[in-house]
Amino acid sequence: MGQYPFLQTGPTLGSSFRLLISGPRQLTKAELSSVFDHVKKIAPMSNFQLVINDIQDKQDCLMGYEFTCQDGLDLATSLIHHFRQVGSEIGIDINLIPKSWLNYWPNLLVFDVDSTLIKQETIDELASFSNQREKVAEITRRAMEGDLDFTAAMLERLKLIKGLSKEEMMKVTDLLEIREDMASLIRFCHQNNIDVAFVSGGFNMVVSHLAQVLGVKHFHANELLFEDGVFTGNIKEPIVTGREKAKYMVELCKQLSIDLHDVVVIGDGANDQYMMKQARFGVGFKPKPTLERFSTIVLKYSTVEVLQKLLSWE
């Protein structure tokens, strides 16, 4: 059962499940049969009921099925593995969710920033100013996939952009693109009194700017150190590693009197696993392979707006 830790730490699984199928197109009949045939082999008494069919959205086609079975964690583990494998083969997101986890409104949504809220990795963009982009981007990729120690990778990359002026570095905000579906989800949160926080292993000078643009009060990121307006190559300690991100999230929940079981985390990198372990559930948005096993919901082909519909399912 160690393959998906969230099955051990999340709410108790009941006998009813919802199957969320989403992506840029509808599934064909043959593809649907492939999805369901495996379930019927290991749970032959399962009866599938279509409970949502939303194909109006041009970005995301969404279908949802409900089925029941008497088994619990072992079956769920097998099905999640099957659905994710099939989904990757046909370019569709297929997520298995216990019904008891639905019809639920979180009190806090926590967003990672680089490659989640925004399309780019900020440090890679900064490296363009010092002609070190290719080298820095490779280190970033390996760190986000969990192949390198995050702290060591951060310090190595910072040395490569040492000497840039603060004024020059601030220009990076003009290059960063906020994902529209993320901005839409944040507006949805504001409209429904759900708190939002940005927690990033990136840089405060950028994250604070994004928070101001999107009307978000709570954010946490690394503080770059400057001397006479020039970047020293160092950051203020403690460095915001994955564990530090989780620590901030826990402290914020205490400050806001929010239970951790009322928190949803959205991220993409290996260092987001620590927040997901603490929260009710995690949404892996185009996640690195290491993060997938910690993600209750994986969105590789859909926009994050499907989460709005998921949260309002009854």
**pLDDT tens digits, one per residue of 72-123:** 566 778 888 888 988 999 999 999 887 777 666 789 999 999 999 999 999 9
Average pLDDT over residues 4-20: 67
Looking at the fold, whether 260 and 196 belong to one and the same domain comes out as yes
Q: Are residues 265 and 296 in the same domain?
A: yes
138 and 73 in a common domain: no
- Domain identity same for 305 and 201: yes
Q: Are residues 116 and 87 in the same domain?
A: no
> In the predicted model, what is the mean pLDDT of residues 288-309?
90
Local structure of 126: helix, strand or coil: helix
* Structure-block tokens of residue 75: 């079956």
Concatenating the DSSP letter of every residue in 59-76 gives S-EEEEEEEE-S--HHHH
Q: Which pLDDT tens digit goes with each residue over 216-251?
A: 999 999 999 999 999 999 999 999 999 999 999 999
Contacts of 254 (CB under 8 A, 6+ apart): none
pLDDT of 30 reads 86
* Apex 10 CA angle, 8 and 11, nearest 5: 115
Residue scoring higher pLDDT (6 or 59): 6
Q: What is the pLDDT of residue 233?
A: 96
Does the pLDDT of residue 12 top 80, yes or no? no
The average pLDDT across 152-159 equals 95
What is the phi/psi pair of residue 81, to 5°? -60, -45
Residues 98 and 113 in one domain: no
CATH code of the domain covering residue 261: 3.40.50.1000
CA-CA distance, 144 to 9, in Å (whole number)?
A: 24
Q: Are 164 and 132 in contact (CB under 8 A)?
A: no
Longest CA span, the chain: 71
User: What are the backbone angles phi and psi of residue 188, rounded to the nearest 5°?
Assistant: -60, -45
**Which region, left, alpha or beta, applies to residue 263 given φ > 0 means left and ψ of -120 to 50 means alpha?**
beta
Q: Is 228 a catalytic residue?
A: no
* Claim to verify: residue 240 and residue 304 sit in the same structural domain: yes
Q: Of 102, 135, 167, which closes a domain? A: 102
Q: State residue 126's pLDDT score.
A: 96
Q: Which residue of the set 60, 93, 112, 272 is catalytic?
A: 112
Mean pLDDT throughout 255-280? 95
How far does CA 122 lie from the centroid of its chain?
17
Please choose, from the candidates 37, 44, 46, the residue with its C-alpha nearest in 3D space to the C-alpha of residue 15: 46
Provide the pLDDT for residue 16: 72
Q: Out of 60, 114, 124, 181, pick the active-site residue.
A: 114
Structurally, the chain folds into a number of domains equal to: 2
Domain that holds residue 12: 1-102
- Give catalytic status of residue 114 as yes or no: yes
Q: What is the CA radius of gyration of the chain?
A: 20
pLDDT digits (tens, 9 = 90+) for 30-87: 888 878 877 777 666 566 676 667 665 556 677 887 776 655 566 778 888 888 988 9
